[in-house]
Amino acid sequence: MTAVGIARLAGVGRAAVSNWRRRHAGFPKPVGGTETSPSFALAEVEEWLRAQGKLAEVPLRERVWQQVAGHPAGAVTALVHAGCALLLVRDRSAAWPSLAALPDERLTEVLPVALEETLTERLGPGRAVLTPAPGALAVSLPLLRGAAELAADTGARQAFEFLLGRHLDANPRQYTLTPPGPAALMAAGPGGVSVY
């Protein structure tokens, strides 16, 4: 997580995080990033903030976002996995509670089947979004459980919109957004509206 993420967790400005780094020898050491934009381990930051009395509980949406941002396979993969799970939560809401109750090892085995059915039903058999494999899903389970919990609070669509929006805000130079008009035309597909 970055200094901006730490500031969000603690409800302070970025300058406060810089001050903490300089003034507190016990502040977590960077685990990655660059000299000018270091990244820190979420668990270490939470522990330090709690020990300093600066954090009681991490808000659910921040925790889920940090799981996306810190995903071992990258944020885009995390968003794909979360999006697939949120489609399942939305389209088969009765199935998710029994899946979520399974131990991680068993959930890793059965979740791809449920995702395959949901994605095929929603997007068709020749879809561009592939069903995540069990091995890939294993590292995403905490994220998927958190995303589903967030969806229970806000709705699946709103949960995904929050995560995608936060990703776009965090990476503005990597993406050029398509204006609404052309985006709607593209979404209509070849059988949709003609521009001629």
pLDDT digits (tens, 9 = 90+) for 108-133: 999 999 999 999 999 888 888 889 99
Q: Is residue 35 part of a domain?
A: yes
* pLDDT tens sequence across 134-158: 999 999 999 999 999 999 999 999 9
Same structural domain for residues 75 and 160?
yes
Same structural domain for residues 96 and 24?
no
User: What is the domain range of residue 93?
Assistant: 60-173
β-pair partners for 32: 39
Residues 56-64: what's their mean pLDDT?
82
- pLDDT at res. 195: 47
Residues 12-27: what's their mean pLDDT?
93
- β-pairing, 38-39 vs 32-33, is antiparallel
Query: Where does the chain have alpha helices with state H?
Result: 3-10, 14-23, 42-51, 60-69, 75-91, 96-100, 104-123, 134-138, 141-154, 156-170, 180-188
User: CB within 8 A of 40, min separation 6: which ones?
Assistant: 1, 2, 6, 28, 29, 30, 31
Same structural domain for residues 167 and 72?
yes
The pLDDT of residue 189 is above 80: no
pTM of the model as a whole: 0.71
* 32, 23 contact by CB (below 8 A): no
Using left for φ > 0, alpha for ψ between -120 and 50, and beta otherwise, residue 180 falls in alpha
Handedness of CA 72, 142, 60, 128 (dihedral sign): positive
What percentage of the chain has pLDDT greater than the value 70?
95
Rounded to the nearest integer, the mean pLDDT of the chain is 88
Count the neighbouring beta carbons within 10 Å of the beta carbon of residue 160: 22
Q: Is residue 183 part of a domain?
A: no
Same structural domain for residues 102 and 20?
no
- pLDDT at res. 32: 85
Same structural domain for residues 68 and 136?
yes
Alpha-carbon distance 36 to 34, whole Å?
5
- pLDDT at res. 191: 60
- pLDDT at res. 185: 76
Alpha-carbon distance 118 to 49, whole Å?
40
Same structural domain for residues 116 and 40?
no
Domain count, the chain: 2
The pLDDT of residue 56 is above 70: no
What percentage of the chain has pLDDT greater than the value 90?
57
Q: Band of the pLDDT at 193, cuts 50, 70, 90? A: very low
Same structural domain for residues 85 and 37?
no
Residues 34-43: what's their mean pLDDT?
86
- Dihedral of CA atoms 148, 133, 138, 146 in degrees, nearest 10, equals -10
The pLDDT of residue 39 is above 90: no
- pLDDT at res. 70: 85
